[in-house]
């Protein structure tokens, strides 16, 4: 585990943009230096920021790491590098024990601030990015977001780009500029969270884009609050969005799952389960009765015939009652 984390640069391809990086030397996890302290407890590395710092962190296969921002800001060291790169097989959880912690990058390069190819859990902290067609967080592995804030610092920058599997259980996704704050290109499920446009951002595109390279993007939404400027969703081609919960600023009835309907309440669109009227099933043993009046040709009296099915015996009874004409 001596070289669990590295200052790194490599080749990164994102949105058909190839950005060449130059390599730098690795650093040992137990001597990471700067304002980051590290401690290994039962095979889990705990990193804590003790001040604003510049590091390019790489979590390699087999490593499990908990990073506590501790109220400070972590920025990349080398221009053109991601601040954090979780490689395939690596596991990282981002927390912030004091609040107001952040992860950023120095300059407007095409690299994402956080690049996850392994397993990443975001519980707190603000992740933001700048740089043409870059992203605050690029996921091609497994991602879970339960807290924190993901946003962009300038135009033409995404918040979260998902090319793997992502589950959103909470957190704040703020569309601060024109690009969608979330771009799903593979498989994503939104269970909760706040998806909003920053105040005064009148040039924003759709809040969430669902667009896979081979029409394979699937987005399931069963909760959350969505306040958009020019529409909540943009869905491309045969990609699929299914909505079964949440509160929306715009009508999303085009994406409703079976069994749900949308209602407008106080200027918001709320999803509810469809109300259906069901008929009470008829009891086959329930007695039935029909009547028919016939005339006796001999007496000209009217005869009332009562025909019914007796529930107990199951036989048909014919009862004739004489009625004076």
- Whether the Cβ atoms of residue 310 and residue 287 lie closer than 8 Å to each other: yes
What pLDDT is stored for residue 280 in this prediction?
A: 59
Q: Tell me the pairing of strands 17-20 and 11-14.
A: antiparallel
Q: Mean pLDDT over all residues of the chain?
A: 82
Query: What was the pLDDT predicted at 298?
Result: 56
User: How far is 177 from 159, CA to CA, in rounded Å?
Assistant: 10
Gyration radius of the chain over CA positions: 32
User: Is this model's pTM higher than 0.85 or not?
Assistant: no
Q: What is the per-residue pLDDT for 279?
A: 59
Q: What percent of the chain has pLDDT over 90?
A: 62
Q: Is 254 helix (H, G, I), strand (E, B) or coil?
A: helix
State pLDDT tens for residues 18-41. Answer: 333 323 333 435 457 679 999 999
| 212-241: average pLDDT | 91
Q: How many residues does this entry show for the chain?
A: 325
- Token reading at 192: 């909760």
Per-residue exposure over 178-205, b if at least 16 CB sit within 10 Å of its own CB, e if not: bbbbbbbbbbbbbbbbebbbeeeeeebb
Q: Between the CA atoms of 17, 107, 128 and 248, what dihedral angle is there, to the nearest 10 degrees? A: -60
Kindly state the percentage of the chain with pLDDT values over 70: 74
pLDDT confidence band for 301 (50 / 70 / 90) = low
323 or 293, which is more confident: 293
pLDDT for 278: 58
Taking phi first (over 0 means left), then psi (-120 to 50 degrees means alpha), and beta for anything else, what does residue 237 get?
left
pLDDT at 228 over 50: yes
pLDDT tens string 130-166: 988 899 999 999 999 999 999 999 999 999 999 999 9
Assess contact for 282 and 289: CB atoms under 8 A: no
Could you give the CA distance from residue 139 to residue 236 in angstroms, rounded to a whole number? 20
- Between CA 66 and CA 92 the distance in angstroms is 6
pLDDT for 244: 95
Residue 297: predicted pLDDT:
56
């Amino acid at each position: 585990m001596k070289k669990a984390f590295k200052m790194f640069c490599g080749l990164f391809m994102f949105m058909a943009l190839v950005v060449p990086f130059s390599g730098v030397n690795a650093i040992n996890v137990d001597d990471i230096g700067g304002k980051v302290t590290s401690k290994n407890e039962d095979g889990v590395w705990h990193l804590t920021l003790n001040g604003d710092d510049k590091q390019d962190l790489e979590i390699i296969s087999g490593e499990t790491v908990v990073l506590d921002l501790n109220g400070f800001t972590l920025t990349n060291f080398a221009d053109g590098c991601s601040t954090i790169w979780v490689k395939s097989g690596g596991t990282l959880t981002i927390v912030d024990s004091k609040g107001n912690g952040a992860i950023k990058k120095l300059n407007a390069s095409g690299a994402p601030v956080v690049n996850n190819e392994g397993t990443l859990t975001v519980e707190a902290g603000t992740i933001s990015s700048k740089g043409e067609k870059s992203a605050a967080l690029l996921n091609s592995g497994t991602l879970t977001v339960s807290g924190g804030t993901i946003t962009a610092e300038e135009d033409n920058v995404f918040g979260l780009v998902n090319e793997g599997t992502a589950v959103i259980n909470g957190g704040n996704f703020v569309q601060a500029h024109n690009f969608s704050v979330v771009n799903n290109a593979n498989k994503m499920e939104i269970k909760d969270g706040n998806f909003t446009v920053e105040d005064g951002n009148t040039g924003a595109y759709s809040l969430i884009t669902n667009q896979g390279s081979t029409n394979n993007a699937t987005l399931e939404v069963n909760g959350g609050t969505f306040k958009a400027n020019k529409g909540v969703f943009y869905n491309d081609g045969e990609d699929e969005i299914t909505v079964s919960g949440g509160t929306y600023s715009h009508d999303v009835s085009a994406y409703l799952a079976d069994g749900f309907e949308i209602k407008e309440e106080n200027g918001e669109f709320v999803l509810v389960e469809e109300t259906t009227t069901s008929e009470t099933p008829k009891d086959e043993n329930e007695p039935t009765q029909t009547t028919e009046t016939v005339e006796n040709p001999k007496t000209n009296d009217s005869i009332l015939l009562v025909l019914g099915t007796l529930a107990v015996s199951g036989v048909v009874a014919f009862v004739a009652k004489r009625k004076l004409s």
